[in-house]
Amino acid sequence: MTHAIRATALAIAALGCGLAQAETGKLLLTGGVSSIDGAAGGGLTPWAVIGSNATAGETGFTAHLSRARTQDYGLTTYGVALGWRDRVELSLAQQDFDAAAAIALNGIAPFGVTPGQHIKMDILGVKVRVAGDAVLDSDTLMPQIAVGLEHKRSRPGSINSVYNFLGVKDSGTDLYVSATKLFLAQGVLVNGTLRYTRANQNGLLGFGSAAPGRNSYSLQPEFSVAYLLRRDLAIGAEYRFKPNNLEALGAAAGLGSALREDDWKDIFVAWAPSKNLSLTLAWVDLGRVVPGITGGRKQTGAYVSAQMAF
């Protein structure tokens, strides 16, 4: 799948560069930035907006690179997205998760995790705007509404033995609906997303769980708020609820809360020095990520991201 993802990404990039308009009517930052999963929105959650600078009747393109670092982990994400007529968004992203801390699992059981192990995940996303227009309806109560899916496939390397122990799958599909309301006169944007998922740590720890963990899908809400300090600068915050599928399995195995999954949150600043470039800096709090191998430390740190949009 990885080769197909890369080939499709190159095709999108070529198509986007060929079709993107030099000048469009979309206002700065109203197309959001690229999330860690590739869809347009905030850093942690998708919004109902369609990425790129393209408005109705145009085709646009974005490319992004982001990096997050916490006490024990690191995550690098890069990807591309195509926005068509401000109606449909197709995105492709790859995550590279530094899971070197997982070597500690060998002290629990002979999992055979190798030093410096990384987990990589490919993500194909599709989003469709089904109602409203964030900008044109900014003086009404009508939000922009979109539905989307994110199909994810992880490549855990030597951590596959841990996947087998947990009874998780290496692929899964999230479905979501987002509503974005822009109060343009006040410079305020509010977004709510409801995600239907069974992903553990966004899919990096697989999907579902063996009994007595939760193997079924659940609905998880996500929220964002942003305030425009000026037309090219915004501040905001996000909160993303997580399903915590694995904790019951860990407790039954005598590991207590070693597999607990906490909610994610961030505070961010987004700056658009030009129409084609946006930069995001955030403080992220991912809670405890497999606290059994990190001494229960909360994973907080910095997140930086750059996006080119046409």
Rounded distance between C-alpha atoms, residue 65 and residue 33, angstroms: 11
Q: What is the pTM of this model?
A: 0.90
Amino acid, single-letter form, for residue 46 = P
Q: Where do the domains of the chain lie, and which CATH numbers do they carry?
A: 2-309 (2.40.160.40)
Q: What is the DSSP letter of 200?
A: S
Phi/psi class of residue 195: alpha, beta or left (left: φ > 0; alpha: ψ in -120 to 50)? Answer: beta
The secondary structure of 154-188, three-state, reads EECHHHHHHHHHHCCECEEEEEEEEEEEEECCCCE
Rounded distance between C-alpha atoms, residue 294 and residue 73, angstroms: 10
Rounded distance between C-alpha atoms, residue 40 and residue 30, angstroms: 10
Rounded distance between C-alpha atoms, residue 266 and residue 260, angstroms: 19
Per-residue pLDDT tens listing for the chain (310 residues): 444 444 444 434 434 443 333 344 578 888 889 999 999 999 999 999 999 998 888 999 999 999 999 999 999 999 999 999 999 999 999 999 999 999 999 988 899 999 999 999 999 999 999 999 998 899 999 999 999 999 999 999 999 999 999 999 999 999 999 999 999 999 999 999 999 999 999 999 999 999 999 999 999 999 999 999 999 999 999 999 999 999 999 999 999 999 999 999 999 999 999 999 999 999 999 999 999 999 999 999 999 999 999 9
SS3 192: strand
